[in-house]
Copies of this chain bind each other. A is one copy, B any other.
Amino acid sequence: MAETFEPYPLEELLYSRLRTFEGRSLREVAFPLGGIGTGTVSLGGRGDLRDWEIFNRPNKGTRLPYTFPAIWARGEEAEAKVLEVRPQPPYTGSHGLDRTTALGLPRLEGALFRGEYPFAWIEFRDGALPLEVTLEAFNPMIPLDPKDSGIPVAILIYKLRNPGKGKVSATVCLSLCNAVGYGHELRFPRPWEGFGGNLNEFVAEEGLSGIRMTSTKYGKDDLGFGSMAVATSWSELTHTSRWIRGEWWDDIQTFWDDFSEDGRLTDHGDGTPSPEGRTDIGSLGALVELEPGGEAEVPFVIAWHFPNNVNEWDTAPEFRGKTLRNWYATQWKDAWGVARYAFENFERLREETRLFHDALFESTLPAVVLDAASSQMSTIRTNTCLRLEDGVFHAFEGCSETIGCCPMNCTHVWNYEQALAHLYPSLERTMRRTDFLVNTEPDGKMAFRTKLPTCCYVPWHMEPAADGQMGCIVKLYREWQLSGDRAFLEELWPHAKRALEYAWVRWDMDRDGVMEGVQHNTYDIEFLGPNTMMGTIYLTALKAADEIARALSDPSANEYRSLYEKGSKKCDELLWNGEYYIQKYDPQKAPKYQYGEGCLSDQLLGQWMAMVAGLGHVLPEERVRGALSSIFRHNWKKSLLDHENCQRIYALNDEAGLLLCTWPRGGRPALPFVYSDEVWTGIEYQVAAHMLYEGMIREGLTIVKGVRDRHDGERRNPWNEPECGDHYARAMASWTLILALSGYRYSAPQDTISFAPKINEENFRCFYSTGDCWGVFLQRLTQERMRAVIEVCHGGLRLRTLGLGWKGLSDEAVKGLRARQGGRNLKLKALRTEDGVLLKFERPVYVEPEKSLIIIVGR
């Protein structure tokens, strides 16, 4: 029997200070630095650079040989250390620790790591250094600006402070391996066939200097082609464009002896490329003089440029081995050009990224929600996602060891994703174009995976996915609501319509609004018979289609509406067991992989999608809440110590987690659907966010806390929630935690936005975004005064109506409600609604940066 556990105490859940990492919890921290479609290198919790996934493929655990920051400082005595924290046990390895990590050199005592994606900060601690050292690391991220969120760089700013009473001389030095021609295995001094002809050159230009790393070995269409750079805008420099080329460890020994002696480097560069099978390391050091109390910021950029990706994941000859060129290569010629762009725009990129950071994190939302949403949006900028030459965005589900997994734009997994849709809606729309213009066949069947390049479509041979296919209709509606792009909608609708109506051929053959056919789905198996997981997505798709058809004057609207109404009623009558919604099926026809009487965490998946898209309830509200309660009661486990799971293992031992399914009333099939005993963060977030939408704050936040506690830096990396692959897209469902808690709803076609905070109503502050802007919503409610502000930080917001969740206002208060912008009162009509008040502006309001909209009741 399942035990009932209480959710965590509310005050703990609402705690607003983000966690930090130190000691053991530094170990698994790997904070990805990279842009959209550029790949990433991760900043490890110790300040180390790891997981070099900049070569158009995932590659967890890689370290580039001898690539590390180092510091030399002379106060009373001279100290030289690798600018990383000491590693922790275990220290295993058949030949000891990998010596190209230079882990045999002295390092710093400890650090405090803070990560608020896209920024990471490390406060280093070391008793012997005469300086305080802090690192700020990021890659520019500006919602709605895919270009400046897609620069192939890692920016590392080392901040030094002299806390002592004497002058301190210091050098901060970054060494980087020229990895052009990199293969999957890289171990020095073993020659690697991809190397040879690697060339490091010191370059000094106005505003930046550094080492340009290229190779003479590759033509521009070769997969190995590319370049790297390490650069800085600091002007007092020391460098060696390459280390000596010696036997054994002559190279590192010579470098270290040179550096540690006086913090200055002898340049060994002679303009010759490396011999066959070998490459070179370059080191760039910034010389700093600090008076007592003095501070300095030394900015480094590591830039890369590897234009040519290749389809290694598809087997069909139309696709396999085809070159896929990265979009970023159309913007920058090489890595040095990237570095130059980064420094030319340095302050702007940093400022705008900080603006986004502040809008997101200077919030009264619970820390655990900000943590969940921000950490997972990073997936947009990992190897899970590609942006190709034509600007189109594609994505795997996640990343396997050295290849994406599984390809590509998987409709049912990306059903859960909501961060890209809300932060880079123009890119999300390219996915809809692929869905409907490439993958929808004449009969309406959709391929649920995209093959690249998309020029060569091959008919879909698998079962079509009922959840993925219906989800695409809902997502089309969402994109339209966010963007108001009618042309886009008109172009795609005929295809989407076919895709929707394909349901009547395949899944809802009797057109009663309930699917009973062979429903392939995100569990990689087929459900047979009616169930609300498919059912609610279908209902939401019908509701969305009704709205779209109505807007486009498509007469099918009525049919969709009537089917929706029939289906909703029938679903509820047929599948409610008094406690939650079940699946009806015939065990004779489906001996395996169903759930039947089980309590499925995803049973209201489509309902959650409806909430996010602003389509309201598709099943009776009280039943929805009842079912969510049951899901919490039965499926959430405070500890999994007694849980028996023969499937994949994403949570275990004393960890908390939400199981995909349980059978509290018995009736578990001998072989229920695969994954049923697993815990998936993507589902946990969709269920939790749904609970928040329905006002079940404690339950929802409890689930979120469970997820994030499992990703605590010691157990797992906080910036990577894997499922079928690292950086799994489904986890970006976490973005809707913010939408739900702020009661955000937006419709561009209607020029309307609403907020109705679910917590901290007296003092609420929160990020929001639309298809055209992003900013901050805030409200303060006191006995005397109510005040709401809509700030735009980027873009603009056109409004004709505004909804606020201010309930119980007196007639007088409603009448006295004022709206101000730029010091002027705006004319409006205020109406009391079920949810609060609705403000209708006499003339459209355009909210912009510095032109916030303020709503006031009272003084």
Q: Which residues does A use to contact B, with CB under 8 Å?
A: 27-28, 58, 60, 86-87, 89-99, 101-106, 246-250, 252-254, 256-257, 260, 398-401, 405, 592-593, 641-650, 652-653, 670-671, 674, 677, 710, 714-717, 722-726
* A726–B648 CA distance with the chains assembled, in angstroms: 31
Instruction: Identify the interface centre among A401, A644, A647, A715: most chain B CB within 10 Å of its CB.
Output: A644
Contact B249 A646 (CB under 8 A): yes
* A319–B101 CA distance with the chains assembled, in angstroms: 35
Taking a contact as CB atoms closer than 8 A, the residue among B90, B256, B723 that contacts A644 in the complex is B256
Instruction: Identify the interface centre among A90, A94, A257, A715: most chain B CB within 10 Å of its CB.
Output: A94
* A68–B58 CA distance with the chains assembled, in angstroms: 32
Instruction: Identify the interface centre among A104, A398, A400: most chain B CB within 10 Å of its CB.
Output: A104
10 shortest interchain CB distances as A-B pairs: A104-B645, A97-B649, A89-B715, A96-B650, A252-B646, A253-B646, A104-B649, A94-B726, A248-B674, A96-B649
Contact A95 B644 (CB under 8 A): no
Q: Nearest B residue to A673 by beta-carbon distance?
A: B248
Given contacts A105-B644, A106-B641, 6 further A-B contacts (CB under 8 A): A87-B652, A94-B405, A96-B723, A101-B649, A103-B652, A246-B671
Taking a contact as CB atoms closer than 8 A, the residue among B27, B89, B250, B674 that contacts A714 in the complex is B89
* A714–B91 CA distance with the chains assembled, in angstroms: 9
Taking a contact as CB atoms closer than 8 A, the residue among B27, B593, B645, B725 that contacts A95 in the complex is B725
Q: Nearest B residue to A717 by beta-carbon distance?
A: B92
Contact A644 B86 (CB under 8 A): no
Q: Nearest B residue to A400 by beta-carbon distance?
A: B94
Contact B248 A95 (CB under 8 A): no
Contact A99 B652 (CB under 8 A): no
* A253–B247 CA distance with the chains assembled, in angstroms: 55
Taking a contact as CB atoms closer than 8 A, the residue among B92, B253, B674 that contacts A716 in the complex is B92
Q: Taking A90-B28, A674-B248 as contacts, is the C-beta distance between A649 and B106 under 8 angstroms?
A: no
* A91–B641 CA distance with the chains assembled, in angstroms: 15
Contacts of A724 in B (CB 8 A): 95
Contacts of A399 in B (CB 8 A): 94
Contacts of A256 in B (CB 8 A): 644, 646
Taking a contact as CB atoms closer than 8 A, the residue among B90, B104, B643, B652 that contacts A646 in the complex is B104
Contacts of A401 in B (CB 8 A): 94
Contact B715 A91 (CB under 8 A): yes
Contact A649 B99 (CB under 8 A): yes
Contact B28 A105 (CB under 8 A): no
Contacts of A647 in B (CB 8 A): 99, 104, 249, 253
* A714–B649 CA distance with the chains assembled, in angstroms: 24
Q: Nearest B residue to A89 by beta-carbon distance?
A: B715
Contact B96 A646 (CB under 8 A): no
Taking a contact as CB atoms closer than 8 A, the residue among B249, B641, B648 that contacts A674 in the complex is B249
* A653–B86 CA distance with the chains assembled, in angstroms: 7
Taking a contact as CB atoms closer than 8 A, the residue among B60, B98, B106, B722 that contacts A643 in the complex is B106
Contacts of A106 in B (CB 8 A): 641-644
Contact A253 B671 (CB under 8 A): yes
**A341 CB to closest chain B CB, in angstroms?**
32
**A758 CB to closest chain B CB, in angstroms?**
32
Contacts of A643 in B (CB 8 A): 104, 106
Q: Nearest B residue to A654 by beta-carbon distance?
A: B86
Contacts of A101 in B (CB 8 A): 649
